[in-house]
C-alpha cells in the first residue's frame, strides 16, 4: 500500500487529535515519575503540527519536515525533542519520495531508532519509548509488505508495555524512583502506544483486540 502526502497528513492529524484527548492522562502518569508535563508538551506539539501540516504538500519529506519543525518549536520535554528528531530523520530517509510504501517503513524505523539513541543517550532495555519502537521495527521487518502493518504494530507495542511494566526505569528522572517504577508504565511508552493506535485509526474508546 502506498501512502500519499495527503494520507500521511491525515494519519498525523489523527495522532494530534489523540494527543489532545489523552494529555491529562499523560500528565498524571508523568507526575508519578517525572515532571508531570509530558501531556502538556505533547499537546503543544500537536497544536503546532496541526497549524503546520499541509495536505497539499508535494512529497513525503515535506510532511515530515513540517511535523519536525512543529515539535522543535514546542520544545519543552525531552519526548517532544525526540519527536522532532524522529520526524527530521524520517524526512531525510524519505528524500525524493512522493509516496510511502509499506516496505519503506522498517528501514525508516531503523534510522529513527539509531538517531534517537544517539540524541537521547538511552539504550534498549532502559524502559523508554525506544523499547516499543524497536519492537515495532522488528515485528514489521518480519511482516510481508502486503499485510496490514497496523495490527502487527499495535500487538508489538502492547506486548512491550506488558513486558516492561514489571521492570524499573533505568534512565531520566524516573531512574531516581527505580523501585517505585516497577509495576508502572513508562509515560513515554504509553504516549507512543496512543500514537500507534491513532495511526491505525483506532478511536480512544475502542477496546484492545
Where are the chain's structural domains?
2-199
Residue 173's pLDDT band (cuts 50, 70, 90): low
User: What does the alpha-carbon distance between residue 116 and residue 113 come to, in Å, rounded to a whole number?
Assistant: 5
The mean pLDDT value for 159-171 works out to 93
> What pLDDT does 146 receive?
83
Residue pair 96/60 in contact (Cβ under 8 Å)? The answer is no
Range ranked top by mean pLDDT from 47-61, 73-87, 169-183, 193-207: 47-61
The mean pLDDT value for 55-75 works out to 95
Cα four-point dihedral sign 140, 144, 150, 156: negative
User: What does the alpha-carbon distance between residue 112 and residue 132 come to, in Å, rounded to a whole number?
Assistant: 13
> What pLDDT does 2 receive?
86
DSSP labels, 65-127: HHHHHHHHHH--SHHHHHHHHHHHHHHHHTTT-SSEEGGGHHHHHHHHHHHHHHHH---TTSS
Residue pair 184/32 in contact (Cβ under 8 Å)? The answer is yes
The mean pLDDT value for 116-144 works out to 95
> What pLDDT does 203 receive?
52
Whether residue 209 is predicted with pLDDT greater than 60 in this model: the reply is no
For the segment 67-124, what is each residue's pLDDT rounded down to a tens digit? 999 999 987 668 888 999 999 999 999 999 999 999 999 999 999 999 999 998 899 9
Residue pair 112/90 in contact (Cβ under 8 Å)? The answer is yes
Half-sphere exposure of 190 (CA within 13 A, CB side): 19
Q: What cell was used for 170?
A: 533505568
- Helices (DSSP H) in 34-59: which residue ranges? 38-52
Whether residue 207 is predicted with pLDDT greater than 90 in this model: the reply is no
Residue 178's pLDDT band (cuts 50, 70, 90): low
Length of the chain: 209
What architecture does CATH give domain 2-199? Answer: Alpha Horseshoe (1.25)
Residue pair 79/119 in contact (Cβ under 8 Å)? The answer is no
> What pLDDT does 204 receive?
47
The mean pLDDT value for 45-73 works out to 96
User: What does the alpha-carbon distance between residue 72 and residue 83 come to, in Å, rounded to a whole number?
Assistant: 8
> What pLDDT does 208 receive?
46
* pTM of structure: 0.91
- Which residues have CB under 8 Å from 52's CB, separation 6+? 66, 67, 69, 70
Amino acid at each position: 500500500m502506498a501512502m500519499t502526502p495527503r494520507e500521511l497528513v491525515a494519519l498525523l492529524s489523527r495522532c494530534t487529535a489523540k494527543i489532545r484527548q489523552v494529555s491529562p492522562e499523560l500528565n498524571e502518569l508523568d507526575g508519578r515519575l517525572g515532571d508531570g508535563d509530558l501531556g502538556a508538551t505533547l499537546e503543544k506539539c500537536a497544536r503546532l503540527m496541526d497549524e503546520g501540516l499541509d495536505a497539499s504538500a508535494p512529497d513525503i519529506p515535506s510532511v515530515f519536515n513540517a511535523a519536525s519543525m512543529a515539535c522543535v518549536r514546542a520544545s519543552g520535554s525531552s519526548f517532544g525533542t525526540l519527536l522532532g528528531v524522529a520526524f527530521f530523520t524520517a524526512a531525510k530517509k524519505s528524500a525524493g519520495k512522493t509516496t510511502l510504501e509499506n516496505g519503506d517503513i522498517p528501514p525508516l524505523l531503523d534510522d529513527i531508532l539509531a538517531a534517537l539513541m544517539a540524541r537521547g543517550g538511552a539504550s534498549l532495555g532502559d524502559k523508554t519509548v525506544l523499547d516499543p519502537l524497536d519492537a515495532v521495527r522488528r515485528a514489521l521487518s518480519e511482516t510481508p509488505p502486503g499485510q496490514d502493518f497496523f495490527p502487527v504494530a499495535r500487538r508489538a507495542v502492547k506486548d512491550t508495555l506488558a513486558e516492561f511494566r514489571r521492570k524499573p526505569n533505568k534512565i531520566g528522572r524516573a531512574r531516581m524512583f527505580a523501585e517505585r517504577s516497577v509495576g508502572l508504565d513508562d509515560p513515554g511508552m504509553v504516549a507512543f502506544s496512543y500514537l500507534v493506535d491513532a495511526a491505525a485509526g483506532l478511536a480512544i474508546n475502542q477496546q484492545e483486540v
